[in-house]
Amino acid sequence: MSDGVLPPEEVADRAHANGVTLWALTDHDILDGVPQARARAGVLGMRFVAGVEISVTWAGHTVHIVGLNVDDANRDLVEGLREIRSGRTERAREMGRRLDAMGVENSYEGALEYVSNPALISRTHFARYLVERGYSRNLQAVFDRYLGDGCPAYVPMKWATLEQAVNWITGAGGRAIIAHPGRYDYTPVQFGALFDEFRELGGVGIEVITGSHTPAQYGEYAQVARHYGFLASRGSDFHSPREARVDLGRLPSLPADLTPVWHDWI
Ligand code: AMP
Ligand code: MN
């Protein structure tokens, strides 16, 4: 429902076919896919928890906070997500203007053709358009040249605060997890401050094994989980069969000494 290409039911089918037994759908900033995902998981006999990946601005950069096992009808969570989605259209128009100035034709209209949900236009949709039109070889190249943080067509956003995101998730009965920490451009001191503040606010876990981490980072963030007493999570970050670095259910297991975030959901 955000920037993946398969509908929730097909993600469920694919996860199940790959041997997944406990699955969370975690769209960016929206919960609208949860009912379909839950229903399909039920038909398949696969356990399901409702999830969301919330965009947060912390120390001038974007951090993603995953909420797992949330009540997807919780009003504060649903309204909070609606609020942070609301700036996306204006941001996309500005990205379009900047891309046009860089010689990309009709980028806003082009990106819109990839959007399944008008409430949620993201950089990924622009990136797919640029690849399809031959401006870049692949999504990574688009982010490196045009849309990545600090690039000429990057339009900064003020997303939720860390406190809001953790409060929405915990208020909806869920567990808050820092997504793919290896992707953030922070100094070691800032990382320490992020983990401390997150834990003080009620955050309980980090992703250790994810499609966004290298094997070296698996070890690095396992150590962070031990040091801070965080639960550990594992997420494919799957968006599309063609773009995925790793398929659903195909990541390595968590290190055996860590406590999985799902330890009492199975
Ligand atoms: P947005 O929420 O519009 O800022 O888009 C963020 C999404 O863009 C991320 O969740 C990723 O799916 C994608 N993304 C961000 N940086 C990169 C990158 N360097 N390479 C590929 N995809 C990226
Ligand atoms: Mn995404």
Do 168 and 58 belong together in one domain?
yes
Q: Is 247 part of a structural domain of the chain? A: no
What is the mean predicted confidence (pLDDT) over 138-157? Answer: 96
Same domain, yes or no: 95 and 77? no
Q: 114 and 143 in one domain?
A: yes
Give the structural domain span for 140: 88-147
DSSP state of 73: T
Q: What percent of the chain has pLDDT over 90?
A: 97
**Average model confidence (pLDDT) across the chain:** 97
Mark whether 205 and 93 lie in a shared domain.
Answer: no
CA distance 119 to 223: 38
Under DSSP, the state recorded for 258 is S
- Looking up residue 71, the CATH number of its domain turns out to be 3.20.20.140
CA–CA separation, 261 vs 185, rounded Å? 25
For 103-128, the pLDDT digits (tens) are 999 999 999 999 988 889 999 999 99
Residue 10 lies in a domain: no
- Nearest ligand 1 atom to the CA of 157 is 4
pLDDT at 193: 98
pLDDT of 244: 87
The CA 157 to ligand 1 mean position distance, Å, reads 13
pLDDT for 100: 96
Nearest ligand to residue 4 Cα: 2
Please state which of the ranges 10-19, 110-119, 226-235 shows the lowest mean pLDDT. 110-119
164 shares its domain with 231:
yes
Question: CB 232: neighbour CB atoms within 10 A?
Answer: 24
Pair 105, 226 in one domain: no
How many distinct structural domains can be found in the chain? 2
Answer yes or no: do 81 and 92 share one domain.
no
Residue 251 counted as domain residue: no
Which CATH number goes with the domain that contains 98?
1.10.150.650
> How large is the average pLDDT for residues 16-33?
98
Q: Which ligand lies nearest the alpha carbon of 5? A: 2
Pocket flag, ligand 1, residue 249 (CB < 6 Å): no
Predicted TM-score (pTM) of the model is: 0.97
**What is the spatial distance between Cα 200 and Cα 242, in angstroms, rounded to a whole number?**
39
Domain's final residue, options 123, 147, 171: 147
- Say how many Å lie between the CA of residue 239 and the centre of ligand 2: 6
Q: Are residues 108 and 201 in the same domain?
A: no
For residue range 190-217, what is the model confidence (pLDDT) as tens digits? 999 999 999 999 999 999 999 999 999 9
Q: Does the C-beta of 202 come closer than 6 Å to ligand 1?
A: no
Residues 100 and 210 in one domain: no
Q: Is residue 7 part of a domain?
A: no
Structure confidence at residue 135 (pLDDT): 97
Whether 174 and 230 map to the same domain: the answer is yes
Q: What CA–CA distance (Å, rounded) separates 27 from 155?
A: 21
Tell me how far apart the alpha carbons of residues 92 and 48 are, in angstroms, rounded to a whole number.
Answer: 33
Does residue 190 belong to any structural domain of this protein?
A: yes
Residue 12's alpha-carbon distances to 116, 167, 244, in angstroms, are: 18, 28, 16
User: 222: pLDDT confidence band, cut at 50, 70 and 90?
Assistant: very high
Does the beta carbon of 126 sit less than 6 angstroms from any atom of ligand 1?
A: no
Least Cα distance to 181 among 62, 82, 78 occurs for 62
Asked if 168 and 79 sit in the same domain, the reply is yes
| Tens digit of each residue's pLDDT (9 = 90 or more) over 53-104 | 999 999 999 999 999 999 999 999 999 999 999 999 999 999 999 999 999 9
Q: What share of the chain is helix, strand, coil (3-state, %, to 5)?
A: 40, 15, 40
Is ligand 1 within 6 A of the CB of residue 122?
yes
Tokens 């975690």 sit on residue: 26
Examine the domain organization and report whether 81 and 102 are in the same domain: no
Residue 258 falls inside a structural domain:
no
